[in-house]
Amino acid sequence: MATPVNDMQREFQALCALGGGLNGGPARGRVLNLLRSSGHRLNVWAYQVMAKHLDAYPDANPWHVCFAVSLSWGHLAQLDLAFTGHVVDLLAHWNDDDLAAARSFFLERGPLPIEQSLAGAYSCSRRWRFRQPFPLRSRVSIAHNSAGWDTFSPRTDQSTSAVGTQRRCS
């Protein structure tokens, strides 16, 4: 690895320098320990991020909050509470102001993938309802279960999408 860009890559490079493994590579046990500890750190961080975003929008559909954060974790948008707020509002009620604001948080792929993802999510959210209980529980008491969110049950109304075209969620 020419230039490690994060702590895990630096730790892996150090393990490679130590050797002790097959064909001179890093020892398998050490690599497995590195993966386990890195995964644990990532899980702790992800839990904290989700709790922060869910707590910032306690009255929002928690699935919409998760979708907003997933766009950031997918490297489409900046991980920002304001972005999450625009996505939550947009998925609840499609409007040009929140769409323009959400698009402004783009990363290297530009704003179009954000808009396309949001249009697809909005279309699907008009057709599907998510059941409770919401699977993520925060230590800081997320009371979303009482909000009545459902999980993956088809809506009975046949309303069309407000994003221009009616799409099928399959």
pLDDT tens figures, 149-169:
433 333 444 443 333 333 444
CA atoms within 13 A on the CB side of 59: 2
The Cα 102–Cα 114 span in angstroms is 8
Residue 84 structure tokens: 């999450």
Report whether pLDDT(6) > 90.
no
The Cα 15–Cα 32 span in angstroms is 11
Closest alpha carbon to 92 in 134, 48, 62: 62
The Cα 85–Cα 102 span in angstroms is 9
The Cα 54–Cα 63 span in angstroms is 10
Phi, psi of 165 (to 5 degrees): -125, 150
pLDDT tens by residue, 64-122? 999 999 999 999 999 999 999 999 999 999 999 999 999 999 999 999 999 999 999 99
Torsion on CA atoms 86, 82, 6, 70, rounded to nearest 10? -30
Q: Give the three-class secondary structure for 161.
A: coil
Segment 21-36 shows an average pLDDT of: 92
Segment 134-146 shows an average pLDDT of: 44
